[in-house]
Structure 1
Amino acid sequence: MAERNASPAMGSRGESLLFLTEDQLRRGIEAMFFAYRGFTADPDRILQEYGYGRAHHRAIHFINRTPGTTVNNLLSILGVTKQSLNRVLRALVEDGLVESRVGTRDKRERHLYLTDEGKALERELSEAQRARMRAAFRNAGPEAVAGFRAVLEQMMDPEMRRHYLDGVDNG
């Protein structure tokens, strides 16, 4: 059980520090591993039919989230090498799921869009995850959902948190 101690140094908002034992932290880490495994299981089965992996899923997700995003922006969000992303994008373009358009202002930029087939695959993948997330959120309740989001946001690196919050604000 977590123990909370108020700290006068925390400010006037009444924030408190949360002290956790090593066992509680280990269990939290394991919970993340197992939750991630469950969260990715359904999409992994769908992706396997196409010969794709999680990198393809992430690319499809973020291209859908921000149609017209640039390759450089996608590189920043995914945190992968240009070579790795190019392999993923090449397959998605060749299979007719992603369209790459040359930038109108900067001809060196490539803007990425999902095709109708790409949008259909994205819907199938995300619906599997939404169903799992919806059930978990309903079972846990609104306070747990708010706490879960707060914890995830605090675990993000600042740059990734900015990407995430930009997406939340625009979506």
Structure 2
Amino acid sequence: MRLAIEQFYFGYRAFTVQPDRILDQRGLGRIHHRILYFVGRNPQISVNALLTMLNISKQALNAPLRQLIEMKLIAMSTAEHDRRVRQLLLTSTGEKLEAQLTGTQMRQLQAVFEEAGASAQTGWHQVMHRLSMQG
């Protein structure tokens, strides 16, 4: 199990190093990437739904989200069905940054999965799914 923990740690470090460099050039961090990623995957997501998805507090989301809005990477609007609901959407600049960040990770995973083979990929997905269900 210690080997699995170490591989998980070092694998995650390798998985985040390139996006971290890109983010650092803009004065951003991993929380910004997570926000960009999940807003991009869920256009018009409400702030409350994003809080639930990321499992963070309003205080933890407030500053990085405000920064992304100020940098014009995310746009916030009110929902037509309920004016109290604030919805988030990537701007075109935000879409480009998110695609660059996530693209590096997708290419990295694709190469590793191709090397490891289909059964390894299936096993990895099963392990990660079960792990995520525990949180």
Shorter-chain TM-score bucket reads over 0.9
**Cα distance, 1:150 vs structure 2:** 0.3
Give the AA of the match of 1:147. Answer: G
> When the two structures are superposed, what TM-score results if normalisation uses the length of structure 2?
0.97
1:8-43 Cα distance to aligned partner (Å, 9 max, x none): xxxxxxxxxxxxxxxxx1100111000000000000
Question: Which SS does the other structure have where 2:84 is aligned?
Answer: coil
**CA–CA distance in 2 between the matches of 1:157 and 1:53?**
25
| Corresponding residue for residue 165 of structure 1 | none
Select which of 71, 80, 101 maps to 1:104. 80
Q: Which residue is 1:19 aligned to?
A: none
The 2-side partners of 1:64 and 1:142 are apart by 28
SS of the equivalent of 1:157 reads: helix
Quote the residue 2:119 is aligned against. 143
CA distance in 2, matches of 1:35, 1:109: 38
Structure 2 CA distance, aligned partners of 1:79 and 1:41?
23
**Following superposition of structure 1 onto structure 2, how do residues 74-89 of structure 1 map, counting pairs within 5 Å?**
74-89=50-65
Q: For 1:4-15, list aligned pairs within 5 A.
A: none
Q: 2:43 aligns with which of 67, 70, 81?
A: 67
Runs (5+) with no aligned partner, structure 2: none
Q: Which has the larger radius of gyration?
A: 1
Structure 2 distance, partners of 1:41, 1:126, is: 12
Q: CA deviation at 1:157?
A: 2.6
Give how far 1:106 is off.
1.3
Regions of 4+ moved over 6 Å = none
Which is bigger in relative contact order (C-alpha 8 A, separation at least 6)? 2
* Deviation sequence 1:45-80 (CA, Å, 0-9, x none): 000011000000000000000100010111011111
Number of residue pairs the alignment of both structures matches: 135
Partner of 1:100, secondary structure, is strand
**SS of aligned partner of 1:106:** coil
Q: Distance in 1 between matches of 2:68 and 2:115?
A: 36
Counterpart of 1:114 in structure 2 is 90
**Which residue is equivalent to 2:68?**
92
TM-score (normalised: structure 1): 0.77
Q: Relative to total residues, which structure has the larger helix share, 1 or 2?
A: 2
% same residue: 40
